[in-house]
Amino acid sequence: FRFILEDINTQIHILLLNYIKLNCSSFLHLKLIFQLITTNENCYKINENENVNKDEIKVILANLKHLGLIYQKKKKRFYVTQLMRSFLLGHSSPDSSRSLMSKDGDKGIIVETNFKIYC
């Protein structure tokens, strides 16, 4: 239960590290996640010229979409959500930057635009 009580950036950090440990058996996984972490773009286009397994890309994107870190409207484009962007830039709102384990006892729920609820 300690995970739920951490602040948002710590939760995302833990989720990404565990995802990388469990699912990044190939170089493609690491490459795509590294591109997400190091670039400042909002929209990404899947490059068809690369020699990559399309099914593997779909699995990676589906996992990141399920975590609420990306939004995918079309098959060849995906967007980084505000949740991921705030994690990458190290920003958080004043309410979400506090750990829920703080002494004031405040609790919060984050509702993303993809209509998924994160505690």
> What's the whole-model pTM score?
0.57
pLDDT tens-digit series, residues 60-81: 788 888 888 888 877 778 888 8
Cβ neighbour number for residue 12 with a 10 Å cutoff: 21
- Domain region containing 48: 2-118
Model pLDDT, residue 51: 59
Computed over its alpha carbons, how large is the radius of gyration of the chain? Answer: 15
pLDDT of 104 reads 54
Domain count, the chain: 1
- Report the distance separating Cα 49 and Cα 46, nearest Å: 9
- The stretches in the chain having pLDDT less than 50 are 94-102
**Residue 100: predicted pLDDT:** 43
